Amino acid sequence: MVSVGLISTLIMMLFLKAPVIVAMGTSVAVGCWLGDLPLYLIAQGVIDGSMSWSLLSIFFFMMAGNIMDVCGVADQIFSFANACVGHWPGGLAHVNCLCSMVFAGISGAAAADCAALGPIEIKSMTYKGYDLRYSTGITLASSMVGPIIPPSVFFIMFGVVTNTSIAKLFIAGIVPGVVISLALMLVCARISIRRPDIFPRGSYTPMKERWRIFKKSVWSLLAPVIIVIGMTSGSVSPTEAGVVAVLYSLLLGAIYRTLKWNALWNAVRDSMIMAASSLILFGFASTMSYILTMEMLPTKLATLILSLTQNKYLVLFLIDLLLLVLGCFMSASSAMILLTPILLPLMEKLGVSTIQLGVLMCFALTIGIATPPVGMGLYILADITHQKIEEVFEGFMPFFPALVVMLIVLTLVPQISTWLPNLLMP
């Protein structure tokens, strides 16, 4: 009864388009009322749920990404990627994918990728004669690797919820992120060959010019490398890596002489607002998880599903479908915090690696950034390009099948997610 009332309230609030934090807070209050639990449990849950050293890294990585954004790091990354692959068929589309891979190692968020790289990439592509809708579509599709390649805010939250090594989760996202980007590049090459009017070939950059651009952008390219190597070597924890990222972003601002005091304050302020929202959300989710666990909902759900089928791949595909649908209506982090405590007991009984579950949840929910009605990436790029939401979504659709295929591959081949972390951190 308590679980039904809590979940029904949450669904109703979300259907009424209430903010996720308000919906979760209200549903938790209803759960406490139905379960005859003291209301101070909510405040206690918010405090206890957000008091994690690892969650502090969310603020640092967000701030590092925001500072690097105002320092012009995205321009440096774009220039180098364009010099390397801009002459390929559909060159700037490949540049788009490579930029997202590198920038993901700085921002850790798909929305940040769209907002920072989108104006640069789409302006350059349309100037070179690329179709606007398809240019926007590949920008949106390539941003999907943002939360997968480390550092990832999603993986930090997932690691705290499941008590999994955040460093392992970070490493687990490297290979899937690269493979997803390569799949999108194959789609770009196919479109360029069949429709050169949409994705034309760019001009070749001489090696001497490439070397000059590399020397200018090397400091920006080193940012994700420093973060990943620091964590895989055990030199720093994820939280300490976030501090290192902030210090390095300030160093980049000094090197490029592009960081202003006003921009720095705006970056810090925006990071504080986003991190505070995440912590409150995490606290409400912890209380909700406590109530649902007390009602034994995760155990009952696992028993019910296992009574129907014990084929783990069938269960995983059903979960993938559920995540894709939820991603249309909720942010990835909100859905992850809600679902992980419920799904984890089921995955453990099926023998599914927690690392693989984290990667699958991250990718499946991130696809929601490109799907209406809530898809944040759609609204960001529609605002940047002055297009309708329908036009942005139409440009994204040729790349959607490749993303779904990659989700299926990651589901069927867990080694893509687990091989590298098991190798580097056995």
List, for residues 330-355, the tens digit of each pLDDT value.
777 778 877 888 888 888 888 889 99
Domain-embedded: residue 12: no
Round the average pLDDT of the chain to a whole number and report it: 82
Domain-embedded: residue 400: yes
Angstrom distance (rounded) from CA 363 to CA 130: 28
- 381 three-state secondary structure: helix
**Token pair 């029904």: residue:** 8
pLDDT at residue 54 is higher than 80: no
Domain-embedded: residue 24: no
Domain-embedded: residue 13: no
Lowest average pLDDT, out of 16-25, 305-314, 320-329, 415-424, goes to 16-25
Helix axis angle, 312-327 relative to 354-366, nearest 10°?
30
pLDDT at residue 307 is higher than 80: no
Residue 236 structure tokens: 């720093």
Quickly list H helices, 143-296.
153-162, 166-172, 174-194, 207-232, 238-256, 261-294
Q: What is the pLDDT of residue 272?
A: 83
Lowest average pLDDT, out of 60-74, 130-144, 402-416, goes to 60-74
Q: What is the pLDDT of residue 219?
A: 84
Q: Mind listing the pLDDT tens digit for each residue in 153-188?
A: 888 888 888 888 888 998 999 999 999 999 999 999
Q: Mind listing the pLDDT tens digit for each residue in 76-121?
A: 888 888 888 877 887 888 888 988 888 887 777 777 777 777 888 8
74 or 365, greater pLDDT: 365
- CB of 61 closer than 8 Å to CB of 245: yes
Domain-embedded: residue 344: yes
Segment 127-134 shows an average pLDDT of 85
- CB of 345 closer than 8 Å to CB of 165: no
Residue 75 class from Cβ within 10 Å (0-12 exposed, 13-18 middle, 19+ buried)?
middle
Domain-embedded: residue 29: no
- CB of 230 closer than 8 Å to CB of 244: yes
Segment 404-415 shows an average pLDDT of 94
DSSP letter for each residue of 270-286: HHHHHHHHHHHHHHHHH
In the structure, what pLDDT confidence band is assigned to residue 63 with cuts at 50, 70 and 90? confident
Angstrom distance (rounded) from CA 106 to CA 3: 39
- CB of 108 closer than 8 Å to CB of 153: yes
232 or 85, greater pLDDT: 85
% of residues, the chain, pLDDT over 70: 98
Residue 199 structure tokens: 């994705």
Domain-embedded: residue 31: no
What's the domain range around 227? Answer: 38-424
- CB of 381 closer than 8 Å to CB of 136: yes
Domain-embedded: residue 57: yes
Provide the domain count of the chain: 1
Segment 283-299 shows an average pLDDT of 76
**Greatest mean pLDDT among 97-101, 291-295, 411-415:** 411-415
Asked, as a colleague might, if the bond just before 373 is cis with ω within 30 of 0, I would say yes
Lowest average pLDDT, out of 49-58, 118-127, 216-225, 268-277, goes to 49-58
Angstrom distance (rounded) from CA 186 to CA 73: 26
Lowest average pLDDT, out of 13-22, 72-81, 152-161, 217-226, goes to 13-22
Q: What is the pLDDT of residue 332?
A: 76
Q: What is the pLDDT of residue 360?
A: 93
